[in-house]
Structure 1
């Protein structure tokens, strides 16, 4: 960008020098050329400083840690590491470099929300104790939900089951542990109405017992 501006500047300076030794007709032609170059420079600067189409100026209300931002003066994207509400500044990480900017120099990028695809409701899945064969845990068929909140766990479960269906994996081993029992209940209630599940059962002792749910996939 700076090289391009310097090139324009050099051309304009040379044209001005040429005007001083030219006839009026030729000088007018060069003046038109210079005006055109000035317009190009202005348009270049404007386009480079134009923020991301989904970006809005950062303020005390929308600047928050880990938010994605765009810095027009650097033509760079970064992530907010710190927000100073008193000084109205943010510390932005851009790769290995971190710099501080005032709110007015940074645009917060508003990520567009993808529409959530609605899935057809399936008949309630029955809990089966005998139709699902013994399942051996592997890195491809195991979903460990321990330590997650219920909403986080169900979101991860839905995402992982979707991947397994696409990979034609026949059964999933869901590890939820015992704990208070709330996560286990939430998982099994979810599975009863899951698009991905054909049936399910608690784990056998050799599979992890009741701290595990085995899901036969469609």
Structure 2
């Protein structure tokens, strides 16, 4: 069986977990704290970043969330997540890059640093200016998702895709850390509520980090 080396609030780990669950791929979780610098984990992934997948029976190691998702798209037929025409597949990949890079850099990364790493590792208070800027940029990203949902059933088109998984993974971490103000984003809230109701998403909503607790609405599928 696959062993997924991951961190609970790593959005890229969450994206892979969602994809594997949607495709019915069995795996066991193995927690890696990003601040530990484990030599054993570095042997699996020299980049030192989660997620990484290891199947000892197959002697196979997969690293980087996009590479992992592409691997399963090519090897598991169930529930394709990069589907449709060539143009649709290009749009899916564009949006995955947008959420993995822009949303993460603008919103998720600063929230993780200020509200998680500073508290658990550095023992420092968060910088309120950086938090305000991250929440402001979160609004900009949610407005764009509102626009997409106004024009499409799912983010990249007529079917759920890896773009939806990538966006939901980033939003779920930002929401856990109190960085999402849902006011004025009814389209995105409705899309996300549907996503939260999926069986693949429920394990994520039930997990809690030590010390850091999410807002009350976090696990409410109707919120």
Q: TM-score range by the shorter chain?
A: under 0.3
Task: Please identify which structure carries the higher strand content.
Answer: 1
Task: Please identify which structure carries the higher helix content.
Answer: 2
Higher relative contact order, structure no. (Cα contacts within 8 Å, ≥ 6 residues apart): 2
**Higher Rg:** 1
